[in-house]
Every structure is written in structure tokens, then in C-alpha cells.
């Protein structure tokens, strides 16, 4: 994610996405076993924290009446080592949306390690949460010369490699959680899903990629750099989510519920209200830059001015959307998992 708090300021779509999983999180917090002396909540793929405030507050508020005022709650925010954790902790200390505001005995900590391995002690997590993060793969499985996303490549071998990586990562995530979760705990995840007829997100992914092609055609980057670009993200289908549970790779976790639902599009809703196509374009362009700019720019030649290139791509994308406003059609997956052993 783009640092300096940029993702925090441009993640309204992700905030809308996670809304559909909040009722499951509150219900899980009201239902999990609460025997431990310290209650552990884990937030996997926290980024800069803006979108963690509401879910963590909801979880704490559902737990507090069950555990009394004095029992400590540790909230572990997990993200990659490169994450902008400074923005997260500044928000926690200074912002009125902070889940610490008015809530005692809550202790946030940060872990800068990949959630595809175990990052917390065995049996220490009572309630797990992950929003808008698990469609990010641990790596790009292969080169994708014809698109910014392998899942949209015309080459079936590339799409197969993406599906294999998605499967491995999901299984590794679950195995790691099966060690970390305390029996009786619950894990709620929301991330990009995949539709039955189409993957979803084709319009926006295509518009972003075409904006990079425009910038290459204008000479700001080379076509060789363009061919190296590949964002390690893709949605999963229900079948793909069920697979590690079905084939026995994951022990000690039970899949309670999984659903793929259409995503909300708050930018389109705003456009329907105000008819401002330029604003629609700018909101999408900023969000795409915040979420995907760094992984695209990482493929550029050493010494390239990333800001200059990303400014140009963002301007191209904003203009492209303003000229042809559309509603985004993509999918969210919502998963509820119980720790059983
Ligand atoms: C789109 S942001 C989501 C942030 C926030 N949870 C939300 O709902 O808006 C995805 C986050 O997942 C993180 N992420 C990606 N791969 C990860 C991994 N292997 N381990 C931990 N975090 C990861 C990214 O660094 C990024 O901060």
C-alpha cells in the first residue's frame, strides 16, 4: 500500500467492503470461549489502520461485557515489514475514530511479518479478523506480459499458476492460524472473491492496466518495464476456499460459513447523487494508486521516479473513468472459521 497515510485517505471502497463481515465479527465476539487471562485479537493485513478502527471497536465492545472491565485485551496488527505502521499508531493515539478512545485495558501491538506463516504464539488468538488482504498472494507465481494481473491474462498457463499460488497461500494462512488460535476461538475473513460467470473487477483492472499502457506509449516508462509489471492479487471462488478443508490439509479449524457477495460501490453511489464524473474518476484513481501503485512501480527500472510515473498513471485513469463512468462489478468473500481442537 502507498505509505504516508495515503492508503488511509483513499480506502473508502475497502471500508464499504468490510461492512458486510462486521455482523459476523460481532456475533463471533459474543460467542467465543473467553477463559483466557488475556484475550487475544489478531488483525491480519492491517495496513495503516484506518479500516481496523470500526471492526476492532465492535469486537472489543462485544467482548467487554463478557469479560468484565479489568481483563486485558491485546490487539495484534499484522502486516508486511514494509508497512506504514507509524500511520497506524498515530491514528490510535490521535484520531477520534481510535478504538482506544473510551476503552480501557486494550493493548495494541504490531507485527511486521507475513501472515502466511505463524506470527503469534500457539493458542494465543481468541478472535481473528482479516479485511481486504487475503487476495494478496505471497508472491507473483510467474511473469504476466499481457496484463497487470495474472488472473486476467489471456494465457491459461498464467491463470493456472495464479490459482495454484492462491491455493497454497490460503492453505498456509489456515495452517498458521490453526496453530495460533485458541480452541473455541473464531476467525472472520473478508477478501476479494470470484463470481461464477466472471472473476469480477475486469473493468477497473483493465482501466488501470490500460493507463499504464498509455503512460508507456507516451514514453514515460518502457514496454520492457510494462512487461515486468504484475500485481500479486486475485479473488477466490467458494470452491477454492473450501478446498484445504475438504482435502484435509487443515486440522483444528472448521469452515462454518462462506459466501461470495457482490461488492458495494460507494464511489458509484456518490456519482449517482452528484453526477460528478471527474470526482468519480479521481476517487477510483486514488484508490487504485493507494492499493496497487507500489506493487506496479516495484517492476520499474532502478532510478525511475515512482511519484512522477504514478502521478501520470493516476491522471490517465481518472480521465479514462470520467469519460466513461461505470459501476464496478466485483465480489467479496466472507468466511467464518471456528478453532475446534
Ligand atoms: C488493501 S490492504 C487492507 C487493509 C485493511 N485491512 C483494510 O481493510 O482496508 C491489504 C494489506 O494486506 C497486507 N498484506 C499483503 N500481504 C500480506 C502478508 N503476506 N502478510 C501480512 N499482510 C499482508 C498489505 O501490506 C496491505 O497493508
For residue 246, tell me if it sits in a domain.
yes
pLDDT tens column, 11-28:
778 888 899 999 999 999
Going by alpha carbons, the residue nearest to atom 5 of ligand 1 is 46
Going by alpha carbons, the residue nearest to atom 26 of ligand 1 is 47
- Indicate which atom in ligand 1 lies nearest the CA of residue 115: 20
- In CATH, what number is assigned to the domain containing residue 240? 3.40.50.150
For residue 291, tell me if it sits in a domain.
no
Total domain count, the chain: 1
Domain hosting 183: range is 6-199+231-265+328-339
For residue 317, tell me if it sits in a domain.
no
Question: With 80 as the cut, is the pLDDT of residue 254 above it?
Answer: yes
As for ligand 1, residues whose beta carbon falls within 6 Å of it are 1, 11, 14, 18, 45-47, 51, 78-80, 83, 114-116, 131-133, 136, 138, 291
For residue 165, tell me if it sits in a domain.
yes
Question: With 70 as the cut, is the pLDDT of residue 341 above it?
Answer: no
Please report, in angstroms and rounded to a whole number, the separation of the first and last CA atoms in the chain: 35
pTM of the model: 0.94
Predicted confidence band of residue 1 (pLDDT cuts 50, 70, 90): low
Going by alpha carbons, the residue nearest to atom 15 of ligand 1 is 136
For residue 204, tell me if it sits in a domain.
no
- Indicate which atom in ligand 1 lies nearest the CA of residue 78: 21
Q: Are 258 and 328 in contact (CB under 8 A)?
A: no
Please tell me the distance between residue 12's alpha carbon and the centre of ligand 1 in angstroms. Answer: 15
Q: What is the mean pLDDT of residues 155-176?
A: 98
DSSP string, 82-131: TS-HHHHHHHHHH-TT-TTTT--SEEEEEEES-TTS--S-TT-EEEEEEE
244 CB-near residues (< 8 Å, 6+ apart): 167, 170, 171, 174, 250
For residue 210, tell me if it sits in a domain.
no
Ligand 1 pocket: which of 2, 46, 53, 79 to mutate (most atoms within 8 A of CB)? 79
pLDDT tens column, 296-311:
999 999 999 999 999 9
For residue 283, tell me if it sits in a domain.
no
Please tell me the distance between residue 276's alpha carbon and the centre of ligand 1 in angstroms. Answer: 30
Burial class (CB in 10 A: 0-12, 13-18, 19+), 322: middle
For residue 100, tell me if it sits in a domain.
yes
Amino acid at each position: 500500500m502507498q505509505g504516508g497515510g495515503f492508503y488511509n485517505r483513499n480506502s473508502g471502497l475497502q471500508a464499504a467492503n468490510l461492512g458486510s463481515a462486521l455482523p459476523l465479527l460481532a456475533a463471533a465476539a459474543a460467542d467465543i470461549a473467553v477463559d483466557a487471562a488475556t484475550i487475544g485479537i489478531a488483525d491480519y493485513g492491517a495496513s495503516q489502520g484506518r479500516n481496523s478502527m470500526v471492526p476492532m471497536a465492535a469486537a472489543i465492545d462485544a467482548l467487554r461485557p463478557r469479560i468484565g472491565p479489568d481483563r486485558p485485551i491485546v490487539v495484534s496488527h499484522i502486516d508486511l515489514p514494509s508497512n506504514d505502521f507509524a500511520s497506524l499508531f498515530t491514528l490510535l493515539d490521535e484520531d477520534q475514530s481510535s478504538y482506544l478512545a473510551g476503552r480501557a485495558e486494550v493493548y495494541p501491538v504490531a507485527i511486521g511479518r507475513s501472515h502466511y506463516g505463524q506470527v503469534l504464539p500457539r493458542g494465543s488468538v481468541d478472535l481473528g479478523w482479516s479485511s481486504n488482504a487475503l487476495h494478496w498472494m505471497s508472491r507473483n507465481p510467474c511473469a504476466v506480459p499481457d496484463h497487470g494481473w495474472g488472473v486476467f491474462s489471456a494465457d491459461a498457463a498464467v491463470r493456472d499458476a495464479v490459482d495454484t499460488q492462491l491455493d497454497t497461500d490460503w492453505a498456509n494462512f489456515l495452517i498458521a492460524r490453526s496453530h495460533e488460535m485458541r480452541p473455541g476461538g473464531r476467525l472472520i475473513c473478508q477478501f476479494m472473491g470470484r463470481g461464477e460467470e466472471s472473476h469480477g473487477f475486469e473493468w477497473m483492472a483493465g482501466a488501470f492496466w490500460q493507463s499504464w499502457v498509455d503512460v508507456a506509449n507516451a514514453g514515460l516508462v518502457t514496454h520492457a518495464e510494462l512487461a515486468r509489471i504484475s500485481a500479486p492479487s486475485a479473488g477466490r471462488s467458494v470452491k477454492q476456499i473450501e478446498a484445504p478443508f475438504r482435502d484435509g490439509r487443515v486440522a483444528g479449524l472448521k469452515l462454518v460459513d462462506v459466501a461470495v457477495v457482490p461488492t458495494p460501490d460507494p464511489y458509484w453511489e456518490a456519482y449517482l447523487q452528484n453526477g460528478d464524473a471527474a470526482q468519480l474518476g479521481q476517487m477510483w484513481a486514488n484508490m487504485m494508486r493507494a492499493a496497487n501503485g507500489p506493487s506496479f512501480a516495484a517492476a520499474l527500472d532502478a532510478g525511475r521516479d515512482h511519484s512522477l510515473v504514478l502521478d501520470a498513471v493516476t491522471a490517465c485513469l481518472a480521465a479514462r473513468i470520467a469519460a466513461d463512468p461505470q459501476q464496478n462489478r466485483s465480489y467479496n468473500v466472507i468466511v467464518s472459521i471456528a478453532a475446534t481442537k
